[in-house]
Every structure is written in C-alpha cells, then in structure tokens.
Structure 1
C-alpha cells in the first residue's frame, strides 16, 4: 500500500511539474510575442514587473528585466502562501514562478504584430488560459493568484473579478508610460485575461443540483463517495405522472465536479431526474479543498 501511495504521489508531482512548465511557456509567449511588441501591460505581478522594467530602463542606471522583477515581486507572496494556504502549494508556486521567469528570459521576443488590439486580445487569452489551467491543476502562478485565493476564501468572489479589482493601477500606469490609448488597450487585455481565467478555472463556479429519485440512500452514498458535499433531503415528493413516491435531494457543487456528479448518478440511479443551475452566491459554509 505504501508503494502505491508513493507511486501516486510521484505521478501527481510529475503532473504538477509539467503544468508549471507549460504555464511558463505560455506566459513567455504572451509577454514576448504580444504584450511587449504591442506595449501592453499584463495583469498582476507580471504587469508590475513590466512596469518596473520600463521605468528602470528610462530612469534608473540599472534596468531590472521583466523576468527578474517577476521573481522579486513574488518573494514576499511566497511567505503569505506558506502561512495562509499551504506548504505544498507554496513549493509548486515557487517552481511555477521560476519557470515563468526563466522562459520569459530564454524565449526571445518574436514580433508577429505590433497592433495593440491584437496584442491585447491574444496576449490576454494566452496568459489567461495558462493561469486558469495552472489553477485548475492546483498550482498558483504567483502574484495576484495568491492574494486572490486568500481573498476568495474570505469573500467568495471569482478569481477573474479579484484580478480586475487589483489591476486598475496597471491600466493607469500604461496610460502614463505609453499614452492613454494604450491604457485602454491594456484594459482590454486584462478583461480578456480575466474572462479566460474564469472559463478555464471552473473550481470557483458553483452550481445548485436538484435530484429527484426513488433511491435516495444509494444516490447520497454514491455522491458522497465521489465528492465531499453535504446534501439536503426532502421526503414525501410525488411524481405527477405515475403518482409514485419520490425524494428530492439538494446540494451545491462546483463546475469542476460535474464529471464526478455524472459518474455518481450513473452508478446510483441512471433514471433519476437531475436539474443543475448556476448559483450566484452561497451564504454559509461551503467546503473548498485545500491546495
């Protein structure tokens, strides 16, 4: 059993290592292929690192590269993640940031286009997918991801909206450095980035599930074997067609758990009626797995 657990743990670590490398490649493409040629600022720590690179290049005797700035900005956030989120999470965040900084330095800029609208949209989409994919696999990309996770746990806000709230400084800075039209281009890139994050990172999207079944105990056991979710039971329901006795079950899951729910229902009661709808807000305790 110990050998199996060690093999599973090794496989998990290898997968996360690969995801971190994949993110590093994507963020370097976003920065070097789109944002830098188009004079577009990214969100969060990457955008702040770009700003430091620009300002030190203009006004300081030594220019701090975007890659180095990205790593230095994340150093105090590693401490926050270690204390508030978890040790394993922090280690893989460190690896992810190292990959990102290295890839930005290693992969040389390719000037596909300098059109600021194209650069804003495609840079935001590429970076947003990389960030969302990393978060989906329980890896933080550092920067605002760490702050966003801590704030989301306390407020329930989505990662995308948290990023948008923190990025007004980046937009204003783009206006002062490159001119106000580029502030609007950067805002467009940030909007695309946030939307793609929310589309990819589905763990934050909550959904209400209503199950109408004649086999409630089997369904409850199956759902709770596949995921950690509380279930509310309503007895005494009646089907209008056959007038047979039914039980209604209510629970709230994340969109990330949709596949697990479908497997659980197929195992427990394939004939059950299941209705799933988006949930705007949840008050009270809602379990979220630790990173």
Structure 2
C-alpha cells in the first residue's frame, strides 16, 4: 500500500481530483446532451463503448450501459499506461475514468437539439475542451489517450491528430453497423473535438525563443532555476543603434511554459529584446515532463 501512495503527491492532490471531476462532468454532458440524442459516436474508447451499447441493445435486447462498457474497456489499457507513461498518470486516470462512468449514470440524457450537426459541433467542443483540460493538468480520459501519448513521446505528433487517425476505425464501424450518416456526423464531432483538444492542451506546442540581453548570466540563472530547458549562447552580438555589446540566448519552450518565461524575463532583464517563433519542429532530444 505504501508503494501505491507514493505516486500520489499531496501538493497537487486536490488539483488532480478537481480536474478529474471537471472532465467527468464535461465528458458526461457531451455524451448525454449531444452524442446520445444525435446518434453520434464519440472518439476513443467512449465511442467503442457506445457501439457496444447499441449492438447489445439491437442484438440481444439488453443494453449494456455506456458507463459500464467504458469502465471495462479501459482496464487493460491501464497496464500500458503504468509501464509506458507513468504510474502516477495511470492512477489518476483510473480515478478520472471511474468518475466519468459514475457521472454518465447520474446525469440523465437530455435532448437539447434534434439537429445532428449542432449536436456534433457542440458535443465535439465540450468533449475536446474537457479532454484538453485534463491533459493540460497531467490527467487523461483513459482509453486511446494512453496509446496516443505513448506514440507522441516517440514521434512528436500532436494528440489531436493522432486521435483523428485512430478514430477513423470507429467511424468505419459506425458507418457499417448503423448507417453512413451517423459516421459522417461522428466524423465532424471527432474532428472538432481533436482541434479543440489541441488548442487547450498547450504542452505539446513548442516555441523557439531568441533573447538579446546584456544581462545574460541573470537570465540564464533564472531560466535554469525555474525551467528545465537548455540554452544556446551566442557571444559577441552588437546592437546596430548604440553598438553596445550583448549576448544572444536561444531556447525552446512549450506554449504552456511561456507565461513563466515572461515572468522570468521581467525579473531578470525587463529591457531585453525577446523574439518568439510559434509552433517550431524539433529534431533531437526535447525534455517533456512526465504526466
């Protein structure tokens, strides 16, 4: 038991649990308010759970609740998360999946609109925002997130784009089993969800920062003290206006770290010239904090 609890740091315990609750509510709302009324299938294991629920209803007359199917499908994937991502990530993801299953049962299905396009768009926005918020805080909705995160660590591809690739198989199954109109509407929902998730989950977006400063030592000390980022130093830079000697520092951070970098620059050299290039591609090693 002591070995289990060591993966639950008390400093961020409340934040993790609150994030799990927020995701559970948003995911349940997306499914029960938009996906189920519009016959739209979600991305990942939630979509597979919906398919299983629909199949058992039509084939045997006994409907397995989506919440129960979601919980059972996630169990074998926890093993992948434990060994390939991190134990702490897997434990809190398990809590998130359990809470999501509970809220899916508690929150009743509500028909807010009968228009499948509206249901697809708004359901995708709610689901993507919840999933991106969870990932941003070091949690996951479970299921295919384990697989996509493991692949992202190897390839550098974004979570949203990988999810779209994997979920094409869910669309194919939905189209063959229940009609292609459901596959097309589900494709719209998955696409919207993936793009919103990418927009919210900013840890995967890398930015190159070029700093021209006369206080290089202070800036380097500040970055190394608060961020785990390497810095390239270019000596002998000269300003064309006053011909003063300066240094150029080059580093790469994530968009998530950008507010911290701005604060560091404000404290160490508020007069430095800082240029930021958005969404750069990286070849070579780039440290990413364990989830």
CA contact (8 A) 1:41 1:47 kept: yes
CA contact (8 A) 1:45 1:143 kept: yes
Q: Secondary structure at the match of 1:139?
A: coil
Structure 2 equivalent of residue 69 of structure 1: 69
How far 1:79 moved relative to its partner?
Answer: 0.7
2:64 & 2:173 partners in 1: Cα distance?
A: 17
2:81 & 2:174 partners in 1: Cα distance?
A: 29
How far 1:208 moved relative to its partner?
Answer: 0.4
Is residue 156 of structure 1 aligned with residue 151 of structure 2?
Answer: no
Structure 2 equivalent of residue 3 of structure 1: none
2:93 & 2:188 partners in 1: Cα distance?
A: 27
Q: Secondary structure at the match of 1:233?
A: strand
1:137-216 alignment, distance < 5 Å: 137-216=137-216
How far 1:275 moved relative to its partner?
Answer: 0.5
1:61 & 1:112 partners in 2: Cα distance?
A: 27
The alignment's TM-score, normalised by the length of structure 1, stands at 0.95
How far 1:287 moved relative to its partner?
Answer: 0.2
Structure 1 equivalent of residue 232 of structure 2: 232
1:136 & 1:279 partners in 2: Cα distance?
A: 17
Is residue 16 of structure 1 aligned with residue 40 of structure 2?
Answer: no
1:144 & 1:223 partners in 2: Cα distance?
A: 35
Structure 2 equivalent of residue 274 of structure 1: 274
Structure 1 equivalent of residue 91 of structure 2: 91
Q: Secondary structure at the match of 1:240?
A: coil
Q: Secondary structure at the match of 1:207?
A: strand
Structure 1 equivalent of residue 128 of structure 2: 128
Bigger mean CA deviation after superposition, 60-69 or 189-198: 60-69
How far 1:176 moved relative to its partner?
Answer: 2.4
Q: Secondary structure at the match of 2:36?
A: helix
2:61 & 2:33 partners in 1: Cα distance?
A: 27
1:177 & 1:114 partners in 2: Cα distance?
A: 21
1:286 & 1:129 partners in 2: Cα distance?
A: 26
CA contact (8 A) 2:213 2:246 kept: yes
2:218 & 2:17 partners in 1: Cα distance?
A: 38
CA contact (8 A) 2:208 2:280 kept: no
How far 1:61 moved relative to its partner?
Answer: 5.3
1:280 & 1:183 partners in 2: Cα distance?
A: 34
How far 1:182 moved relative to its partner?
Answer: 2.1
